[in-house]
Structure 1
């Protein structure tokens, strides 16, 4: 889950929605067979007066972490990333929890790079030598993030992620892996959020962003919780936080979207093999 809008308490974002990210960690509805996401969690956020993000991660299940309940009512933020993890095979440890951070950038990902242990060496050897020492964990998600950074994430996020995904598919093909990539991913520089929905087999997990709050208010004039949200508020979610027809846009398969205050745009996503 990602939030962009007027500063708000993290507690209101993490715990109060009907189908919050905490509820999703226990009861995912669109998880593709995953019954819980209990292999750790993480949040990353920007302070209203600070361009560098902070992160808080734990290997505890999100629904049972007292430290998260302690800090969430004390974090006020205009942009928050939150992720609950179901490991695809790598260890349950703090360095493997999302979101991942580099400078002012945050990154998180649902999905997997198929047969990652077989391709990990080839992928990580392509990471820029100046970035390689910053790898902390051993997940496919962090590797994909550092490949995107290598291919220019800070200058042109859509092109960089297209190159990173194209490279992963190229390496996967060399290893005779049929469907190397499955991802919904999000990246932010603290001002804008880029999201990506793509899989090699064209069967990617769900991804949504919220529509204009003024429009949603007109649809649901009696829903008082909407009155507290600024007009530029946007949510990005794997599963809708509440069943409100007309409130959510489904990001199409093989697409990327740019979300910023008062603006959203959707474009086709196509991997490119880097030179």
Structure 2
């Protein structure tokens, strides 16, 4: 789990657990110059995190909000540090924990992790602690006898899908795509740079091949009022082509062909 600072929108905590082995790191804000804090810089914290993952046997990371803003934030920071390739090599994929729990305890009154911890673990979980979140998730898995098995395959996603999802975040933030539409594109390995390249080759018709992923049924409401998702996407990319340096607007990284080790071992749903 990770926590994002509400003011800086940067990672403030990282935590993970493997059976009884716990990992937690507090990230020191860039403007913080104190000497007595246990917090470390983001670069050092991520180095420790990669070291912890590397000590395991290519784990599958269980994430409660897999398709939320947390992983794209982590991917971007690792890309900026030129360590994303290392992260890819030390993991096998990602498990979407919330949909799995929704299947196993359909009668729960709420599927917020804090509520599940109170109901099934009789535990008051601090929402401000990344470590408390991963410990609660671990103990829920133990309580429900969740362990690696073929039955989990439909909830496991590979690295390249999450990398595509991360690359599409500028479109989500610009309200061009809904998060659900970005997820659907990512599951079909469609990245920001692919959409941009297709639009540049054929500005009028190129993006129509993605219409089945961008239909209004893939979102609760159209991204931009009065326009279809395809129109909104075309308008967005058209505006990039009119800027002096469109490469600056490409946002997050896109998957590199042949780099996705996890893509060869994870199953898609």
Higher strand residue share = 1
Structure 1 length-normalised TM: 0.27
Structure 2 length-normalised TM: 0.27
Between structure 1 and structure 2, the one with the greater Rg is 2
